[in-house]
Structure formats: structure tokens, C-alpha cells
Amino acid sequence: MSAVLFVSSESAAISGAKVGGVADVVAEVSTALARIKSASATSVQVVLPEYACLTLAERTLCGQYSVNFAGHQLTLSLYRVLVAQGVTHYVLSHPWLNSAEVYHNDTDNRPFAADASKFALFCLGVAEAIKQGAFGELDVLHLHDWHSATLAVLRAFAPQYECLQGLRTVYTVHNLALQGTRPFSGDESSLQTWFPWLGYDGQQICDPHYQHCYNPMRAAITLCDKIHLVSPTYVEEVLQPSDPERGFIGGEGLEGELQKAHQQGRLVGILNGCDYEQEAASYPPKALWPLTQQALFAAMAKLPQLSSGHYIAHVRMQQWQQLQIKPWLGSVGRVTSQKVALLAQPLATPAPGTLVINAVLDELAKEQKHFIMLGSGDSYYEQLLTQAMARHDNFLFINGFSLALSDAIYELCELFFMPSSFEPCGISQMMALRSGTPCLVHGVGGLKDTVKEGENGFVFNGDSPAEQGEQLLACLTRALDMHKDQPQRWQQLCANARECRFSWHEAAKAYLSELYGG
């Protein structure tokens, strides 16, 4: 019997606790682990902070725990909020944890400041709850991303939490680009302010480039028993330094620590899965428009004034609806440099200086094809996409998010587009494939592991951002040509996509053998 505690900032099992793919992983792999019936049957529990944005159907107080944080004696409450499919979910509650959203948008001059303090308190509360037996007898402590990484520091250096050293501790890196770095001291959001009583080895937990700063992700990679990355190809990539000039995103400054973990046999790549028990949604084409309008209105309601992007999108949506246009290309995802920087890349050829997004839309226009995109994030890229929409009547950019609309896009578009600069695993391409929609992707990370050229989609590469942009366009041309000239081959591509299976059951078995065992 293995008893596992997942410590995470997100879980899709709880309404309001999902922002990105980490939420899906935590919810789905915990369920898959709990379902494995064997001699090593697994008990799985999940704990996350109680944010103000959560919708909780039940809330049972399990205990209260006093901690010394930032010079204050604070009492945190642990509530059991969900028991489903063999997994028990808890939230840790305190006014300092109950932010309006899962994550803050900190200013550029103090990145991660509010969230780092929030999650440091969360980690301290979890450590105290484990010490006092709140989760029963545990075997494995499984930490997810930088938000829970400070728990590894408390486990290693806080004498009062020495009991945690008896737990096998696993750390999953979902996104190496976000490391949660904060100063060691001299700021209200710093390690010394949070834990003035903590002695630690700064050489093990400092940022590799900023020695005066604490890097939670580096600390967890250094201190945990196993380091898990969410696709085999991503493991290969992060062992190399990032090289933006050639369009390569690798270890993001932590390649040295990851190389050591690899040499020590602590680094493991296990591909994420997809939920196939819940059938892919089936939408009639006309369902796209009410779902688009709902997503637009929800996004509009969050702003005091109507933005130009929302106005243009609403007008464009009405035009497309009237013309009964069915978008051919679709994309869903965060509008960040990771996901869309390549679209802002100027081309060297064939039209020097033209941004990739404009070249893509021009290429689609030649075949009278339309592109719908759903997402929000970085204001620079949001504005760039809005400007592209203003110039091209075959582009509709919905600056927001809607789960129902994303499902409709996966289902109703002919081709799904994911030009990520890097992708640890990716879930959107799996969702599109599940719906029988081929994908056009950059051959990196989990995209390389799930989408195969000519089998279930189209893959581009390139040794520089400019070359990647050119190859993206060539890839799009191949897709357009096959769709027009080889309809039978295209239908086979769709059938292959629908038959793809990336199993959470197999991933869970690998967790047990490669992360939790031995």
C-alpha cells in the first residue's frame, strides 16, 4: 500500500481551481493512481490553498494548525472538500491564502512577490499538518511546480519538520520557465522574512544567475528524491541550455541541476495522459456562435470599458455567423511568449518583415479558409493578435477563456494549431486529437511525442526563429494542399487522430514504478 499526498496550486477536480494544464494532471493522474488495483494499491490525497474563487460543494473541518510565519503566529484550517473516485481533496484556509484568483498578476519589478508569500505560507501549513498526522501515514510526498517547492526546503532544513525526511519526495516540473525566484532577504516577500527562524544552505537553493535570490524550483530539483518531467522529449531538451537566437528553449538556467539529477538517476520523463472515459464533445456547426458570444460577454464583463479587441471580435463573429462560415484552423491556449511568440516573428523570406501571424492569415485567405483563436494572457501578444484580426477578415481572436468554446473548437475546426516555442507536454493537442482533429505543431517537447508528421498531423522545426516561421508556413501549405487534393488521405489523418491514446493508466503505472518505487 502506498499513501501519496499531492501538494499543488491547482486541481481541475475543484471548481475554480483550474488555470492551466497542471490542474488537469493533478486531477486525472491522482484518479488513475487510485484506480490501480494491485498488491501496491495506492491511497491518494490532494491538498491546495483555499482561494476565494473556489466553489466548494462541501467543507468539513479536519484540523487547525498554528505556524510561525513572517513574524506572526497564524492558525490555518484544513478542510476536506471532496472525496471522489478514490481521491480525497483538501484545502488549507487562511485569509492570507484566500486570494481572489488562483494567481496574482505581480508587477514586473517584483515578479512572483504576492504569490511567493502565499505559497510559502501554504507550504509551511502543509508541513505542520503532515507533522500532526492530518493526512494519516504517508509514504510519498508529491510536489507540483514552484508553488509547492518550498516544502522541500522545510523538509531539508527545518528541524521541526525532520519527520518529513522519512517520506519519499517527488517533484514534478510542469513549466520550467516559471521558477518563483525571490530575494533571500531585504523584501517583505523573501525567504528570511517568511522564515526568520530557518537555517539553510544557500548554495543549494540559490538562483544560478542571482546568488542573492532564492529559487524554489532549483531548490526542489536539488533536494527531492525524484524529479519528474511531463514528456520524454522535454527531458532531453532541458539538459541543454536555452539558446533563444536559434529558437531553442531548454533548461532555462537550471540545466546544470537537471544534468546532475540525470546523472544520479533522479530524472524521469513520463508523458501526461488524456481522459478518454469522457467522450469528446460533439457540436453542430451552429453551436459555435452562442458559445463564442457567451465567451465574449464573459470577457467583456471583466472590464469596466469595452476594449477594441472585444468589439472587433463581436462584429467579426456576427459577420461569420451571417455568412455561415465554419473556421478551418483553430487554436486554444494561453497568449504568452511560450505559446505565440513565433507568430510575432518577422519572416526573412518569402516576404521579408512580414509577421508570421499575418503570413499565416494571407496563406489561409488564398484558399478562403478562416482561423479562430481563443486565449488570454500577455497584453503585448493580445494586442498583436487584435491588430491582426483588425487587418484580416478571416481571423477571429476571442480574448478570454471558455471551456465549452474550447471543446467546440477542438471538435469543429479541421486543423488544430499549436506553434509553441517549447511545450513540456501540452494537453490541447491531445484534446484535439481525441476529437479527430489533426494538429499542426512545433516539434518540441510533448508535441513531438504526440503528433507525428503525416500520421495524425503536421510538424515543423527550424534552427532559428526565422527558419521556424518559414517552416511553419511550409507546413501549413502541406496541410492545405492535402485537405484540398487528397481528401481520402485527410480522412485517414482524422481517423488516426481519433484513435490516438495517451493513457493516464499507463502514466500512473510509470509513477508507481519509476517515481514512487525503489
How do residues 200-220 score in pLDDT, each as one tens digit? 999 999 999 999 999 999 999
Nearest CA-CA partner of 9 in 227, 180, 130: 180
| Alpha carbons 247 and 422: distance in angstroms, whole number | 9
The fraction of the chain above a pLDDT of 70, given in percent, is 98
| Alpha carbons 295 and 300: distance in angstroms, whole number | 9
| Alpha carbons 243 and 148: distance in angstroms, whole number | 28
Strands (DSSP E) found in 205-353: 213-214, 226-229, 267-269, 329-332
Rounded to whole angstroms, the maximal C-alpha distance in the chain is 70
How sure is the predictor about 328, in pLDDT bands with cuts at 50, 70 and 90? very high
The pLDDT of 488-515, averaged and rounded, is 96
CA atoms lying within 13 Å on the CB side of residue 316: 26
pLDDT in tens, 157-180: 999 999 999 999 999 999 999 999
For 384-401, give one letter per residue: b (16+ CB within 10 A) or e: bbbbbbeebebbbbbbbb
The pLDDT of 134-143, averaged and rounded, is 96
Q: Measured between alpha carbons, how far is residue 457 from residues 150, 327, 442, 496, 500 in Å?
A: 40, 18, 11, 9, 11
How sure is the predictor about 227, in pLDDT bands with cuts at 50, 70 and 90? very high
Can you say whether the dihedral through the CA atoms of 383, 389, 392, 394 is positive or negative?
A: positive
Decide if pLDDT at 16 tops 90. yes
| Alpha carbons 178 and 426: distance in angstroms, whole number | 16
Decide if pLDDT at 518 tops 90. no
- Secondary structure element (H or E) that encloses residue 415, with its range: strand 415-418
Give, as one character, the DSSP assignment of residue 276.
Answer: -
Q: Is 88 helix (H, G, I), strand (E, B) or coil?
A: strand
| Alpha carbons 171 and 149: distance in angstroms, whole number | 8
Average pLDDT in the chain: 95
The pLDDT of 137-150, averaged and rounded, is 97
Q: Is beta strand 395-398 parallel, antiparallel or unpaired with respect to 371-374?
A: parallel
pLDDT in tens, 334-364: 999 999 999 999 998 777 889 999 999 999 9
Q: Residue 373 phi/psi, 5° resolution?
A: -135, 135
pLDDT at 279: 67
